[in-house]
Structure 1
Amino acid sequence: MPGATELQRVLADLRGTVSALTRGYRDQGRPVTDGSPELLALCARLEFLLQFDLKEKRSLWGQRQDYWDFLCQGLRGRHEHQGITHVRHLPQLRTPLGRGRALLRYCLARRQLAETLQLCLLDPQATRAWYHARSPFLDPQLCADLLACLYDLDGVAFCLDPQPPGLDAGWPPSTARCQQDVQRLAQAEHEALAREQAAREELGRQREVEREVKGRLLELLREKDSLWQQSEGIGAPPAPGPCARCRSTAGPLARRHQCR
């Protein structure tokens, strides 16, 4: 289970990520997209905080509840949050974790993340029903610092895919990670082609050696046959000579002797 030291580290990393996003948007003037590695880091760290010391609860059907259920309960009865309605109408989401991730992305795209989280934390008693004592949401100072940090994101524009695939399994990978994966795949393909080429060359060398061995074996068989014939006194058949009766010689134009 993560401890207080890791919690402080994640909070510090979250502040650094928010600073990087605000500084990048201020300097470049372009909205943050799914290709930003800082976006992936922000979502992962925010999810860590929402799951930190979260009590284990289950629905009536036995499904394990997550911070999505906490956010839904915190927003219930105050006003109809459009993000909740939007996420519930996404058919590809099957788990509370995937729905929670979709809601965070929805709030980021509409600059409502800090406000939405603050609405969910207005009732400390309801928050204690979902979190144990170590949660940063039960520490007034940590909670105030976290909300102040997230309110800085209201000045950053996010242009995100409203229906990203695979949120049940994980956050959408950033472009940098995709490029790394593509490079690894290209390198693996190059290595596979090199191995295949080396195998072809080795097979060609083996076939050449096989041909040489077969040729040498044939020569040895011929030499053995020649030595055997010499040892047995077997020579080549004598050339045909003239007929003893008519003294004529058979040839291409006269295949039969005159006496026959």
Structure 2
Amino acid sequence: MSALTPPTDMPTPTTDKITQAAMETIYLCKFRVSMDGEWLCLRELDDISLTPDPEPTHEDPNYLMANERMNLMNMAKLSIKGLIESALNLGRTLDSDYAPLQQFFVVMEHCLKHGLKAKKTFLGQNKSFWGPLELVEKLVPEAAEITASVKDLPGLKTPVGRGRAWLRLALMQKKLSEYMKALINKKELLSEFYEPNALMMEEEGAIIAGLLVGLNVIDANFCMKGEDLDSQVGVIDFSMYLKDGNSSKGSEGDGQITAILDQKNYVEELNRHLNATVNNLQAKVDALEKSNTKLTEELAVANNRIITLQEEMERVKEESSYILESNRKGPKQDRTSEGQALSEARKHLKEETQLRLDVEKELEIQISMRQEMELAMKMLEKDVCEKQDALVSLRQQLDDLRALKHELAFKLQSSDLGVKQKSELNSRLEEKTNQMAATIKQLEQSEKDLVKQAKTLNSAANKLIPKHH
């Protein structure tokens, strides 16, 4: 952080020094890293102008804080962009040993520490960003889970370690951007921890929170039980982002492809989470259905036991009251034996009282379980109602199918009857055809006979004609 923070006791650079420093430039992706006097300054290439602005006084705290905010914002842009590009090229789940991921957490730690108010303790002044991060669970209820997980980690002893663990869990949960936006929107709460011109209180904080949305396409998995998050040194390694000036031109051509890949990965991740949520809910419903009967039986047994214990308590109270009355009315010589009986009765009463308290605690547990069971039963009843509605519709469809089947059977029977009638008619037609064929044969035979007779008559007539002549 010392490279990003200008010293307060430096002399004001002249115009010639500023122009000379602008000429001596190291290209850090799309950012220019230049030396203004003895301190580091980051500028985006689109915002560079070699014409120097009016020189502000370096002793002005607002000027120094503004430069620190700008440096941190540009460094966050570099870190997030490099992390997304390298993670997409790598194509696997990232772990805590991945160097760009480690540098991202270092940059985020510097952003969250910027402008923190110092709190006085017994050991001196202490600045920790764990306090603002604890506020997130009040603004976003989903963050309560990771806050509780951080507090339960046994190896964390300092607030800085807890803050680092919180950042890692939020990134794994893919909610870091949402949590940071919710925190930045509540500046009245942040004013308790930050100075008015801190990064989290200014526009640069909102820009960084917006940039964090792109990290939702990254899958990260950390095992923090073995990591020493308390003693890590947060130093930004600028050598990771040093590139040739011409490489920035080539990277601009791949911007659209990268954006499309980011959207594709985001949609796939969202779909995977929705499927996992559906599977978990289905498993919970199945478990509730299985435990419903068991809980009902246990509740009935517990109720019977409570009734029995209450009856025993009433009986013990009556016996103790009877013993007290007999002690008051009886002779003095019997008080010793009766006193022993009374002490035993008191001891028995104390045991019964303790037993009753235990039973009442168990009853409260059973009541809470019964309430959960009733809620689950309502959900199941709703599901059953929906299934019953579906069953009614299916039955209606089945009845329609049966009616259609009867109608088709009737039509089939009618068609069979028609086929029989047609076959009978066909057989009759065949008989008539055969009869007609026999008649035709007879007619043909008779025709032949008639022809023969005609020929005979003709021959006879021919013989008779010459005789007349």
Q: C-alpha displacement at 1:172, in angstroms?
A: 9.6
Partner residue in 2 for 1:179: none
Partner residue in 1 for 2:134: 72
Partner residue in 2 for 1:122: 185
Partner residue in 1 for 2:160: 97
Aligned with residue 170 of structure 2, among 83, 107, 129: 107
Query: Matches of 2:120 and 2:138 in 1, distance apart?
Result: 18
Partner residue in 1 for 2:80: 18
> In terms of Rg, which structure is larger?
2
Match of 1:99, as an amino acid? R
Partner residue in 2 for 1:157: 219
Query: Matches of 2:147 and 2:123 in 1, distance apart?
Result: 21
% of aligned pairs identical?
22
SS at match of 2:141: coil
Q: C-alpha displacement at 1:77, in angstroms?
A: 6.0
Query: Matches of 1:78 and 1:19 in 2, distance apart?
Result: 27
Aligned with residue 48 of structure 1, among 74, 92, 110: 110
Mark the CA change 1:147 to 1:78 in structure 2 (over 3 Å): closer, same or farther: closer
Q: C-alpha displacement at 1:65, in angstroms?
A: 5.6
8 Å CA contact 1:22–1:152 kept in 2: the answer is yes
8 Å CA contact 1:65–1:96 kept in 2: the answer is no
Q: C-alpha displacement at 1:14, in angstroms?
A: 1.5
SS at match of 1:33: coil
Q: Any residues of structure 2 matched to 1:197-208 within 5 Å, and which? A: none
Query: Matches of 2:153 and 2:121 in 1, distance apart?
Result: 20
8 Å CA contact 2:116–2:195 kept in 1: the answer is yes
Q: Any residues of structure 2 matched to 1:1-260 within 5 Å, and which? A: 2=5, 3=64, 4-58=66-120, 64=126, 66-76=128-138, 78-79=140-141, 81-139=144-202, 141-170=203-232
8 Å CA contact 2:69–2:204 kept in 1: the answer is no
SS at match of 1:130: coil
8 Å CA contact 2:156–2:230 kept in 1: the answer is yes
Q: C-alpha displacement at 1:62, in angstroms?
A: 8.5
Mark the CA change 1:109 to 1:59 in structure 2 (over 3 Å): closer, same or farther: farther
8 Å CA contact 1:164–1:172 kept in 2: the answer is no
8 Å CA contact 2:156–2:162 kept in 1: the answer is yes
Match of 2:201, as an amino acid? L
- TM-score, normalised by the number of residues in structure 2: 0.34
Q: Which runs of 5+ in 2 are unaligned?
A: 6-63, 236-469
8 Å CA contact 1:74–1:121 kept in 2: the answer is no
SS at match of 1:30: coil
Q: C-alpha displacement at 1:121, in angstroms?
A: 2.2
- TM-score, normalised by the number of residues in structure 1: 0.59
Mark the CA change 1:71 to 1:59 in structure 2 (over 3 Å): closer, same or farther: farther
Q: Which runs of 5+ in 1 are unaligned?
A: 174-260
Match of 2:231, as an amino acid? A
Match of 2:207, as an amino acid? D
Q: Deviations over 1:129-150 (max 9, x none)?
A: 21112212111x3122111111
Q: Which moved further from structure 2: 74-83 or 149-158?
A: 74-83
SS at match of 1:16: helix
Q: Which moved further from structure 2: 57-66 or 127-136?
A: 57-66
8 Å CA contact 1:93–1:168 kept in 2: the answer is yes
Q: Deviations over 1:175-228 (max 9, x none)?
A: xxxxxxxxxxxxxxxxxxxxxxxxxxxxxxxxxxxxxxxxxxxxxxxxxxxxxx
Root mean square deviation of aligned Cα: 2.6
Query: Matches of 2:162 and 2:193 in 1, distance apart?
Result: 18
8 Å CA contact 2:140–2:179 kept in 1: the answer is no
Relative contact order, CA 8 A, sep 6+: which one is greater?
A: 1
Match of 2:79, as an amino acid? T
8 Å CA contact 1:111–1:153 kept in 2: the answer is yes
8 Å CA contact 1:40–1:171 kept in 2: the answer is no
Query: Matches of 1:133 and 1:8 in 2, distance apart?
Result: 16
Mark the CA change 1:163 to 1:116 in structure 2 (over 3 Å): closer, same or farther: farther
Query: Matches of 2:168 and 2:89 in 1, distance apart?
Result: 23
- The structure in which a higher percent of residues are helix is 2
SS at match of 1:76: helix
